[in-house]
Amino acid sequence: MRNGGTCVLKDDMAEILGMFRKADVLVLATPVYFYGISAQMKTFIDRTYPIWQHLGKKEVYYIISAGLGEDIIERPLGDLDGFVEHLEEYKIAGKIYAANVMDAGLVRNQSVFKKAYDMGYSVQNAEKLRVGE
């Protein structure tokens, strides 16, 4: 790396990367666009390049929504896995998929809300356990 682990772009990403480095929990959430993760998620992943080797231990959660069936989730899931596998130490702690939600309101008919609540609850309680150690 030519810049010693710092990004050449001068924007808010330095602050975001600082928070990312300190975080114990990472939630990666993306819609599926044309069979892949969103451009915003891809940009975030790419922008972590200067520090990806020094991110520490992370507990990781995925949230993926797609307009088509669950089979469309595989490729974006692979994109997220490819990123996470490069972290120093990680644990995939939860995954939520909302498939077949092309039209507004369709997600309300799925069980993902309960799964999301349960996932958030487990993150919150895990944090309380870590603080109490």
What pLDDT score was predicted for residue 62? Answer: 94
Query: In 10 A of CB 40, how many CB atoms?
Result: 11
Residue of 107, 10, 23, 78 whose CA lies nearest to 50: 10
- CATH for the stretch 21-131: 3.40.50.360
What pLDDT score was predicted for residue 128? Answer: 54
Q: How far apart are CA 73 and CA 35, in angstroms?
A: 8
Q: What is the pLDDT along the chain (133 residues), one digit of tens a residue?
A: 566 666 677 888 888 888 888 888 999 999 999 999 999 999 999 988 877 777 778 899 999 988 887 888 899 999 999 999 988 888 999 998 888 777 777 666 667 878 888 888 888 776 555 544 4
Query: In 10 A of CB 75, how many CB atoms?
Result: 13
What pLDDT score was predicted for residue 32? Answer: 94
